Structure 1
Amino acid sequence: MIFKAVREGRPYPDHGLSARDWANVAPRTVRLDDLTTTKRQLELDHLLDEDSTYYGDLFPHAVLWHGETYLEDGLHRALRAALQGRNTLHVRILDLDAFRAGTPLGPPSP
């Protein structure tokens, strides 16, 4: 199995992060089989498009919620990695569990 689970929709609350906010979340390596997708459908043209991240973030976005890591954006990049024989991927992970515990969402204050 490539992913831990496949589901439709996000079970976590809206975090409100913008593209600029995501850029402040450092990427880290994650095993593909630890990710739960939030989309069930693939678009084959996006999967095969080598320039699909030309205008976006190079790293997929995921959200840690109740101990589960949900792949919010980057399903096609993750699947391409699996098709290339890789079982890990660099992903920006927003830890909503830490936020619930009192840690701020954004980057540290100056």
Structure 2
Amino acid sequence: MRNIAPFGLRMPDELRDAITERAKRNGRSMNSEIVQILQDAIDDANRDEENGKLKAQVLDNRKELPESYQEVLASFDERVAQLTEEATKKAMIQAGLELSLKIEEISKKKPT
């Protein structure tokens, strides 16, 4: 076992319960689950930063292309944005329907 100093952490009971459940689902200890959550958050932040750098580099490289290529790429970008917006709306509608069904299901149950 590694020599890692313990780190005390206070958290609300609801959060502790959620982490405990998540740890059980993932077959990890609560400590390992918290470490994994933190590592995932750091990895996501690093990935977002790297993606931002790559996007800036691509946009800079585009400036060197002939005007006709830039127009085609701009049109492509607009279409991708449009499709993304449509997909997001559909996903939100689906999530809303699922939530409505779940609320209806819960409301039909008798309180115990």
TM-score after normalising by structure 2: 0.22
Greater per-residue helix proportion: 2
Q: Relative to total residues, which structure has the larger strand share, 1 or 2?
A: 1
Q: Which has the higher contact order (CA 8 A, sep 6+)?
A: 1
Query: What TM-score do you get using the length of structure 1 for normalisation?
Result: 0.22
